[in-house]
Structures are given as structure tokens and as C-alpha cells.
């Protein structure tokens, strides 16, 4: 389960085969005019239902399952895994959800106000509706708990930082962990034996440096605002921009929060945060869109160079998530600037219409470049099953 403030994504997934049994999305939770989009046996159905809260959304989901031919009782669910964005300093791996763990997830809402409160609502609802099923929290920050202090420490007043838990945590960890392990499996190399850079490019985007399977740096910080240019977030910028927006432009803190989280990035530069729109406009010769594309690629190339230096070399660079898996133009623009690093690009492999794990660098390229689909739901399911088996 992945509960957002007004949505609930769910999947019932077989942790062994990786196949999903059902998947769906409840939208406009807590409002009128809600819908559940549900998929079972390759058939997609849409159901109009008002959902006052996440509890109602889950009840409606079970009704939809019964109506579409697989009552939840027959789905052999053994555990509910919940995506939780922020695990703070204490949760370094998946946790069986107890009252204490739930309280901590709520408390960490100060560090992830857009996410953790919604996850807590989803967890409370799932505990109520499935009282007999164990529930496990899988944290986006977990995989990055191995970052060295030199990578996670911000150079500000140390006492203040400690008191307020200000440091880099990193996000999308479930994806970076899954994809880095999948790369090793796909290339048939032991994960301990090589250095990787993973570019997770979705609506949110982050990049990680992984040495022998352990994360050593990542671009998202105390919150998911830092780092790469994203659909609606601008990533790195001088923190004084925030002060200037307040003192000179007269924006309040909440307005700046909304501006930076929801109205910046590709959306802020072009008016749309979706990369399909962006590419359409680039192809039409739109200069505004071209600049956004260039800013996006420049930031990504800069991070790859930085991480290659931090790792003291890189063996494999991988693209994943919506943009990374589907946008050949961005991959090409990035790879064409990495010849100096040892990337020999294979344009035909890059533009092949293939959706499985694949290599897009030429045979013999000193640095291998891959495209590997991510699957956060499967990774969460596997962690959840491992937690109850432990
Ligand atoms: P998130 O999970 O962070 O919401 P995704 O990983 O689904 O995001 O990525 C969404 C982005 O991927 C959008 O900008 C979208 O335009 C882009 N994208 C998704 N599918 C395709 C596709 N088939 N071709 C081009 N771009 C795509």
C-alpha cells in the first residue's frame, strides 16, 4: 500500500514470481467525486465511489475486488506492506508496525509533511480493516542509512542540526535498492564487486552512488526537494532563494513550500511537469521547453560526474522509473556527454522498443549503461514477507 494525502495505491503481488494479482488506485479520498481504478486479469475497471477517508477507501477496494471476481479472502494475502517516505534516524530497515512505530511515523511528519501523515492514515485504516494481518512499514530512507557521515552531514551549526535532526536522509531508497540488485543479477556480476550510479527519473527524481551494493551518496536530502530537476521540484538551488522569496517577493513560508514542491522544476519552467508534454514541445522547436530539457540534462550530467568522483570510478550507470525507462532522448543527451568517463553510447540499443532490462552502451564500453525497470511494490512486498519470516 502507498497512501498519499488524497489517494491510495495498492497492489496484491506475489513476492516470488513478482507478478501482481490486482492493482489499483483510489483517488479523491476525503472528497466527493472519488474513483477507484482497478486492474485484475488484464482488465481495467473504473468505479465511482465517494471515500470519506482511507478506511472507506480500503472498504471500497475490497468491494471492488469482490465485484470484479476475486474477493480479498481468496487472494491469500499474508502481510500488508506500507510504503513510508520518512523513517528518520531510527528506522534503518523495515519495521513490523506496532503502536510505537505508528506514533513515530506520525512524529516524523514534521520532516515529511506531504507524506508521513497520509501514510499513518493508511496504516490505521489497514489495521482496522485487516486486523488479523501483520503490517510492515518499508521506509524510503532505509537503504540510505548506510551513507557515511561525510555524505549525510550538512555543514551548518552542529548542535542545531542534531537537535532538529537536520541531515541528508535520501529517498526512493526502495527503488535504488531494488534496481541496484537487479542490475547485478541482470549483468550476472556479484553486487559486492562493482560501483554503480542509479538514476531514478520519475515525477520525483534522485540519483545514488552505490559501492559494492552499499549506498554512499544520494541527491535527495532532509526532504525530497534536494538534488535533480524534477517534474514539479527544482532540486538544488541557493538556500538564499528562499530568504529572498520571503523578504523581497513577500511570499509566506507555506506559499514558498507550495512553490518549491509543486510549482517548480519542469512545471515551473514550462507550465507542464509531464515529460511527454515537454518532449512534444522540444520536437516542435519550442525554446522554453528546450531550455528546461537542457537544465534537466545539465544537472543530471553534473551529478553523474560528481558521483563518479565520489566513488573513485564507476562501472555501471543505470536509468530507471517513468522518464529513465521511457525517454530515450534524455538518456541519449546524458550519455553523449559521458564519453570522457568511458561511456560508448549505442544509439540503436537506446532507441529500441524494449521494456525489459537492457544495455544501451556499446559492447566493450568501459562503463556499461543500462535501463532497468523499477518495481517498488514488489520490493515492498518482498521486504514485508521477509519481516514476518524473521
Ligand atoms: P512517479 O512514480 O514519481 O509518480 P513515474 O516514474 O511514473 O513517476 O514517472 C512519471 C514521468 O514519466 C512523467 O513525466 C511521464 O511523462 C514519464 N513517462 C511515463 N511513461 C512514459 C512513456 N511511455 N514515454 C515517455 N515518458 C513517460
pLDDT at position 299 over 90: yes
pLDDT at position 381 over 90: yes
* Residue 266 CA, closest ligand 1 atom number: 14
pLDDT at position 390 over 90: no
Give the helix/strand (H/E) hosting 78: none
pTM above 0.85, yes or no: yes
* Residue having the nearest C-alpha atom to atom 4 of ligand 1: 203
Confidence of residue 10 (pLDDT cuts 50, 70, 90): very high
pLDDT at position 307 over 90: yes
Distance 280 CA to ligand 1 centre (A): 14
What is residue 308's predicted lDDT score, i.e. its pLDDT? Answer: 98
Coil, strand or helix at 176? helix
Q: What is the rounded CA–CA span in Å between residue 357 and residue 13? A: 20
* Residue having the nearest C-alpha atom to atom 20 of ligand 1: 322
Confidence of residue 315 (pLDDT cuts 50, 70, 90): very high
Distance 195 CA to ligand 1 centre (A): 27
CA angle 167/170/176 to nearest 5° reads 160
What is residue 174's predicted lDDT score, i.e. its pLDDT? Answer: 96
| 25 touches ligand 1 (CB under 6 Å) | no
| Mean residue pLDDT across the chain | 96
Give the CA-trace dihedral at 269, 9, 319, 349, to 10 degrees: -110
Which residues line the annotated binding site?
A: 2, 9, 83, 200-204, 274-276, 322-326, 376
What is residue 226's predicted lDDT score, i.e. its pLDDT? Answer: 98
CA distances from 382 to 36, 174, 299 (A): 25, 11, 33
Q: How confident is the model over 252-269, as pLDDT tens digits?
A: 999 999 999 999 999 999
**Domains assigned to the chain:** 2-139 (3.30.420.40), 189-376 (3.30.420.40)
Which residues line the annotated binding site for ATP?
A: 9, 200-204, 274-276, 322-326
Q: What is the rounded CA–CA span in Å between residue 308 and residue 289? A: 29
DSSP summary character for residue 362: P
| 323 touches ligand 1 (CB under 6 Å) | yes
Which residues line the annotated binding site for Mg(2+)?
A: 2, 376
Number of Cβ within a 10 Å radius of residue 193: 10
Distance 202 CA to ligand 1 centre (A): 5
CA distances from 383 to 138, 178, 378 (A): 7, 11, 9
pLDDT at position 383 over 90: yes
What is residue 114's predicted lDDT score, i.e. its pLDDT? Answer: 80
3-class secondary structure per residue, 18-52: CCEEEEEEEECCCECCCEEEEEECCEEEEEECCEC
Instruction: Classify strands 316-320 and 368-371 as parallel, antiparallel or unpaired.
Output: parallel
Candidate from 276, 351, 375 with most ligand 1 atoms within 8 A of CB, to mutate:
276
Identify the CA nearest to 228 among candidates 326, 150, 146, 297: 297
* Residue having the nearest C-alpha atom to atom 18 of ligand 1: 322
Identify the CA nearest to 335 among candidates 361, 353, 357, 306: 361
Distance 244 CA to ligand 1 centre (A): 33
| 355 touches ligand 1 (CB under 6 Å) | no
Give the helix/strand (H/E) hosting 12: strand 7-13
Query: Of residues 31, 76, 140, 254, which has the active-site annotation?
Result: 140
Q: Is 255 exposed, middle or buried (0-12, 13-18, 19+ CB in 10 A)?
A: middle
* Residue 321 CA, closest ligand 1 atom number: 6
The number of residues in the chain equals 390
Q: How confident is the model over 106-156, as pLDDT tens digits?
A: 999 988 888 899 999 999 999 999 999 999 999 999 999 999 999 999 999
What is residue 343's predicted lDDT score, i.e. its pLDDT? Answer: 98
pLDDT at position 62 over 90: yes
Strand order in the sheet with 43-48: 2-3, 7-13, 20-27, 35-40, 43-48
99 is catalytic: no
Q: What is the rounded CA–CA span in Å between residue 107 and residue 101? A: 10
Residue pair 136/383 in contact (Cβ under 8 Å)? The answer is yes
CA distances from 176 to 182, 272, 280 (A): 10, 26, 29
Candidate from 23, 202, 351, 377 with most ligand 1 atoms within 8 A of CB, to mutate:
202
Amino acid at each position: 500500500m502507498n497512501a498519499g494525502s488524497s489517494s491510495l495505491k495498492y497492489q496484491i503481488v506475489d513476492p516470488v514470481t513478482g507478478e501482481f494479482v490486482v492493482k489499483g488506485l483510489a483517488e479523491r479520498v476525503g472528497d466527493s467525486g472519488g474513483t477507484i481504478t482497478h486492474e485484475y486479469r488484464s482488465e481495467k475497471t473504473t468505479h465511482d465511489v465517494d471515500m470519506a477517508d482511507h478506511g472507506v477507501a480500503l472498504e471500497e477496494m475490497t468491494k471492488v475486488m469482490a465485484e470484479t471476481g476475486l474477493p480479498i479472502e481468496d487472494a491469500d494475502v499474508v502481510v500488508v506492506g506500507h510504503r513510508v517516505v520518512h523513517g528518520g534516524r531510527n528506522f534503518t530497515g523495515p519495521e513490523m508496525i506496532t503502536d510505537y512505530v505508528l506514533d513515530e511515523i506520525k512524529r516524523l511528519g514534521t520532516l515529511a509533511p506531504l507524506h508521513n501523515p497520509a501514510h499513518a492514515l493508511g496504516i490505521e485504516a489497514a489495521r482496522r480493516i485487516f486486523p488479523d494481518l501483520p503490517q510492515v512499514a518499508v521506509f524510503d530512507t532505509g537503504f540510505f542509512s548506510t551513507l557515511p557521515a561525510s555524505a549525510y552531514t550538512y555543514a551548518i551549526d552542529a548542535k542545531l542540526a542534531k537537535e532538529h535532526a537536520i541531515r541528508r536522509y535520501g529517498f526512493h531508497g526502495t527503488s535504488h535498492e531494488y534496481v541496484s540488485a537487479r542490475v547485478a543479477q541482470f549483468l550476472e556480476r556479484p553486487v559486492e564487486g562493482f560501483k554503480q550510479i542509479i538514476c531514478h527519473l520519475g515525477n520525483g527524481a534522485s540519483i545514488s552512488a552505490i559501492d559494492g551494493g552499499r549506498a554512499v551518496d544520494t541527491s535527495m536530502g532532509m526532504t525530497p526537494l534536494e538534488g535533480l530537476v524534477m517534474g514539479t521540484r527544482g532540486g538544488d538551488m541557493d538556500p538564499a532563494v528562499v530568504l529572498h522569496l520571503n523578504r523581497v517577493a513577500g511570499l509566506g513560508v507555506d506559499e514558498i513550500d507550495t512553490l518549491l514542491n509543486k510549482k517548480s522544476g519542469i512545471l515551473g519552467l514550462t507550465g507542464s511537469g509531464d515529460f511527454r508534454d515537454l518532449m512534444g514541445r522540444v520536437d516542435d522547436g519550442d525554446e522554453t521547453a528546450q531550455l528546461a530539457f537542457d537544465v534537466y540534462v545539465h544537472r543530471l550530467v553534473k551529478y553523474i560526474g560528481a558521483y563518479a568522483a565520489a566513488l573513485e570510478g564507476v562501472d555501471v550507470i543505470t536509468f530507471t522509473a517513468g522518464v529513465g525507462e521511457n525517454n530515450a532522448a534524455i538518456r541519449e543527451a546524458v550519455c553523449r556527454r559521458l564519453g570522457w568517463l568511458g561511456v560508448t553510447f549505442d544509439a540503436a540499443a537506446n532507441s529500441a522498443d524494449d521494456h525489459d532490462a537492457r544495455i544501451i552502451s556499446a559492447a566493450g564500453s568501459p562503463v556499461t549503461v543500462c535501463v532497468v525497470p523499477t518495481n517498488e511494490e514488489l520490493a515492498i512486498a518482498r521486504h514485508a514477507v521477509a519481516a514476518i519470516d524473521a
